[in-house]
Structure 1
Amino acid sequence: MADELRFPTGLGTSDADSISLLGQDLAADLMGRVGFGELAFWLVAGRRPHAGEVRLFEAVLVALADHGFTPTAIAARLTYLSAPDSLQGALAAGLLGGGSRFLGVTEDCGRFLAATLAESSGDDVDAIALDAVTRARAEKRFVPGLGHPVHKVEDPRTPVLIRIATEEGLYGPHLRLFEAIGRVHPQVLQRRLPLNGAGVCGAALADLGLPVEMLRGFALLARAAGLLGQIAEERRRPIANEIYLTVDRNAVYEA
């Protein structure tokens, strides 16, 4: 019976003498020859990216790695304070906070753009964008990727990622639609909001052909590096206990 069991995989296998990954010999063909970003892309997309794709993809990862004392970073530091024997728990605590307000916008924006493009007809991207923003406003939904709590005029990551995509010939329909949303949304919202970095990351990843259902995973992959850095700094210059005591000493009971 055991001989009849089969569990197919196109990823990794190993035997007593070798490890194979993506059909390559891990030790001979990949280690020292393939960067981690390139490998992450390859693992998900099932194809090896070319150099321009790697450049844009890794720029996205850098853009999402760390933004200072965000809730995800604070959660990781406080968990490490509580359980310094559980580095994995501190990392997990930070990653679990990746949702619709932090990190998840990357996927939300990619999904929104992909769905809008799938439903649209015609070539007038500004008209498509205007219709999408108008419908979202009528349905009382936020347009993901619009606005930022800190960068009120321009998110510094946005023009850089658009420039890299353009330089590498990877400026595609999702980025084009996202920029159109940036142009037309004041007509509907009566105010101008910046296109945020998380949103442009989602658009860029979608233009790379990566599944929009997986985009949050790339945001979490990037943030894992940032959280590891936060925990390393917490070891060198601890602040988590001060955060905890500040909240605890200022707690006020209200029935």
Structure 2
Amino acid sequence: MHSTTASASASVAVPRGLAGVVVTDTALGDVRGREGFYHYRQYSAAELARSRGFEDIWHLMFHGHLPDAAERAAFLARTASLRRLPDEVRAALPAIARASAPSGPLAGLRTALSLLGAAAGLRPVYDLAPEERRADALAACAAVPTLLTALHRLGEGLEPVEPRADLPYAANYLYMLTGTEPDPVRARAVEQYLNSTVDHGFNASTFTGRVIASTGADVVAALTGAIGALSGPLHGGAPSRALDTLDAIGTPGRSRSWIRERVLAGDRIMGFGHPVYRTEDPRSRMLRTIAEEFGGPLVELAVQVERDVVDLLAELKPGRELHTNVEFYAGVVMELCGLPRQMFTPTFCAARVIGWSANILEQSADSKIIRPAARYTGPPPPQPVPAV
């Protein structure tokens, strides 16, 4: 039998975008979109976000269980010790920041993280024992906030701020970003946001990281690919765009007329809708509570807009439900906590790097490369090659 015919007969047709296709087993967590629920391992992710620190969730994702007091102290000390960058990476950051200035810190992170991996001599996960893989992933994750904040500050004409080992992950991130030790209330709000975005099923960036890990490449190679996927506007760019919507509306009194016009025109309203959830996004629910604790005009506007979108859709598009997603109130919370908008998606990345790494470690235990097929739809081969 001809090879292409054999290949075609062995193929399985799947929906565009692999929607609903199960490609592997995982013990890391899942998203149950119809229930409005997601989890990290066996725990509700929203409950963990409300009640635990970021390092506890990091430990859970990497080691499979929540730490006790002694394990927490040891993990905090170990990850904090990995925050400082090698001299050769620090020396290259000004040039990387200049080159990536038009696109921002997330673009610079791809280059800086690759350099970090090369400088550290990271080896392919295929050649490493599980503990060696975990050590590489810990080092990469710990360095990401340092790289992101340094690239941002350099892009603003400021000197990077060295990390502090005495601060937890979120507070240290804000300290490196601003140069000032953060207010505990704002540090905790940002930590809860980070907690809520560590992992979220087999999204595009997570799957990208796992595909690269399946080749046996090093941890940083897989993380860099995941960052590239996150940089796409259909995946990671919405928190600041949701705030742009609130800016455009301006006041609660303009909300209904602005939304009505957009709904009738068939325009997308940023910060609403999700490809998985068919009910309220639990991350949005938690972040709305955090925002309401801050209060103020921006929060009042956001709550009014959310209410008006739901009401007007019921009136104008009966049967079409649209709820806020994580980006809507994430943008509000980060704005209230003083993060610049160009750092919204990088801040998401500072959390999601943990989930990517956990998926990379899990994938590394499987020696089977991910190698799907495509259906050829061009002119029938073989065609005669034209003479020159």
What is aligned with 2:334?
Answer: 205
Q: Give structure 1 stretches of 5+ with no counterpart.
A: 1-6, 13-20
1:15 equivalent in structure 2 = none
Once the two structures are overlaid, the 10-residue window that deviates more, 185-194 or 131-140, is 131-140
Answer yes or no: is 1:152 the counterpart of 2:278. yes
| Contact 1:182–1:193 (Cα < 8 Å) also in 2 | no
Distance 2:362 2:265 in 1: 44
Determine the C-alpha separation between the residues in 2 that align with 1:192 and 1:240: 41
Change (3 A) 1:170 1:240: farther
In structure 2, the partner of 1:176 is 300
> What amino acid is aligned across from residue 363 of structure 2 in structure 1?
E
Contact 1:74/1:240 (8 A) holds in 2: no
CA offsets 1:112-152 (integer angstroms, 9 cap, x no match) = 32x236xx35xxx2x23224323544665411111112221
Say whether 1:218 aligns with 2:347.
yes
Q: How does 1:30-45 map to 2 (within 5 A)?
A: 30-31=164-165, 33-45=166-178
Question: What are the superposed Cα offsets for residues 71-127 of structure 1, whole Å, 9 maximum, x if unpaired?
Answer: 111111111223x343212101111112322222222213332x236xx35xxx2x2
Matches within 5 A, 1:3-152: 9-12=158-161, 21=162, 30-31=164-165, 33-82=166-215, 84-98=216-230, 99-113=232-246, 115-116=247-248, 120=250, 125=252, 127-137=253-263, 141-152=267-278
Aligned-partner Cα distance in 2 for 1:208–1:97: 27
| 1:253 is the counterpart of 2:385 | no
Q: Cα–Cα, structure 1 residues 100 and 232, in superposed 2: closer, same or farther, change >3 Å?
A: same
Structure 1 pair 165/79, CA: closer, same or farther in 2 (3 Å)? same
Deviates more, 1:129-138 or 1:96-105: 129-138
- Alpha-carbon distance between aligned partners in 1 of 2:276 and 2:367, rounded to the nearest angstrom: 23
Secondary structure of the structure 1 residue equivalent to 2:321: coil
Output the amino acid matched with 1:35: P
Identity %: 22
Aligned residues: CA RMSD: 2.5
Which structure 2 segments of 5+ residues have no match? 1-153, 379-388
Q: CA deviation at 1:252?
A: 2.4
Q: Which amino acid in 2 is paired with 1:201?
A: A
Distance across 2 between alignment mates of 1:54 and 1:106: 18
Task: For 2:326, give the aligned amino acid.
Answer: G
The amino acid of 1:212's aligned partner reads R
Give 1 or 2 for the bigger CA radius of gyration.
Answer: 2
Letter in 2 for 1:252: R
Contact 2:227 2:349 in 1 (8 A): yes
Of residues 101-110 and 213-222 in structure 1, the stretch that sits farther from structure 2 once superposed is 101-110
**How many residues are aligned here?**
217
Rounded to whole Å, the distance in 2 between the matches of 1:41 and 1:173 is 24
TM-score normalised over the length of structure 1: 0.75
Q: CA deviation at 1:37?
A: 0.7
C-alpha distance 107-55 of structure 1, shift in aligned 2 (>3 A):
same
